[in-house]
Amino acid sequence: MARPRPEAFKKVKIVAENRRARFEYAIDEVFEAGIVLQGTEVKSLRFGEGNIAESYAEVKNGEVWLINSNIPEFSHGNRFNHEPKRPRKLLLNNREIEKFHGAVARKGMTLVPLNLYFNGQGRAKVELALARGKNAQDKRATTKEREWKREQGRLLKEHG
């Protein structure tokens, strides 16, 4: 009997999306990770501000850190405001961290954040992908396939 497929992560409110990641990288596995935030960061994210387009994750000393993600300062945060581009710790199981460490060290893979969102319980989560960089030929093939699917949809709409 086949193993049932796991459900997709239940995203209630997507705050930031890394749309270029699926074009730039061949994605192998996707994980959901919690993120350690300060109070003003949460408030800023709830207003829909945040950017993970240029960010990545790395494993340091048995912990995973989200680097270069931008959460702008909260407008009413006064002296308690946070630093916008500080490294943020990601919450994962030890088994997942070891898997990431091995894949990055041995296979030359990259940890790329795909989405930053709030789940059904109101917790901030990051959708993290274990990915391999694409070369120019792979990117051209992806573009060609996407254009063919678009053309196929047009043809079906006209004749069907």
pLDDT digits (tens, 9 = 90+) for 17-37: 998 888 888 888 899 999 999
Nearest residue to 69 (alpha-carbon basis) of 152, 13, 126, 118: 126
In terms of C-beta density within 10 A (0-12 exposed, 13-18 middle, 19 or more buried), how is residue 153 classed?
exposed
DSSP 8-state class, residue 5: P
Domain boundaries, the chain: 11-134
pTM of the model: 0.79
Nearest residue to 24 (alpha-carbon basis) of 144, 132, 150: 132
Per-residue confidence at 148, pLDDT binned at 50, 70, 90?
very high
Residue 126's pLDDT is 94
**Of the ranges 3-7, 25-29, 32-36, 113-117, which one carries the lowest mean pLDDT score?**
3-7
Residue 120's pLDDT is 87
Q: Phi then psi for 37, rounded to 5 degrees?
A: -125, 155
What is the dotted CATH code of the domain comprising 11-134? 2.40.280.10
Distance CA 135, CA 141 (A): 10
Span 113-129, average pLDDT? 92
**Terminal Cα distance for the chain, rounded:** 38
**Of the ranges 7-21, 50-64, 115-129, which one carries the lowest mean pLDDT score?**
7-21
Nearest residue to 24 (alpha-carbon basis) of 125, 104, 113: 113
